[in-house]
Amino acid sequence: DGMGSELEVGGMAARRNEVDNSDYNLMLEHNAVPQEYDFGSVIDITGDTATVRWDGGGMEEVPTTDLAPAEVDIMSGRIDIGRCMFCGLCMEACPFESFFMTNEYDGMSGYSREDLWYDADRTRVLPSVHQERVDAELVKRAEKEQKKRAKAKARAEA
Within a domain: 1? no
pLDDT at 136: 78
Are the C-beta atoms of 80 and 117 separated by less than 8 Å?
Answer: yes
Predicted structure pTM score: 0.46
Structure confidence at residue 117 as a pLDDT band (50, 70, 90)? confident
Residue 52, pLDDT > 90, answer yes
Count of domains observed in the chain: 1
- The per-residue pLDDT for 27 is 64
The larger pLDDT score, comparing residue 99 to residue 43, is at: 43
**Average pLDDT over the chain, rounded to whole?**
77
54 has which bridge partners? 40
Is 122 a member of any domain? yes
- Contact partners, residue 128, CB within 8 Å, separation at least 6: 20, 21, 22, 24
Q: How many CB atoms lie within 10 A of CB 149?
A: 10
Residue 103 has pLDDT above 70, yes or no: no
Question: Which pLDDT band, with edges at 50, 70 and 90, does 104 fall under?
Answer: low
pLDDT at residue 105, rounded to an integer: 60
In a domain, 114, yes or no: yes
Whether 38 is in a domain gets the answer: yes
> Does the pLDDT of residue 45 top 80, yes or no?
yes
Residue 37 CA to residue 68 CA, distance in Å, equals 10
- If pLDDT is split at 50, 70 and 90, which confidence band does 51 have? very high
**Residue type, position 8, single letter:** E
Nearest 5°: phi and psi at 13?
A: -135, 155
Please give the sequence-ordered ranges of beta strands (E in DSSP) within the chain, or none if there are none: 12-16, 37-46, 49-54, 59-63, 68-70, 79-80, 117-118
Other Cβ atoms closer than 10 A to 54: 15
Q: How far apart are CA 63 and CA 45, in angstroms?
A: 10
In a domain, 5, yes or no: no
Which domain range does residue 43 map to? 12-157
Q: For residue 7, is it within any domain? A: no
In a domain, 3, yes or no: no
Do the domain assignments include residue 104? yes
Q: Is the pLDDT of residue 73 over 60?
A: no
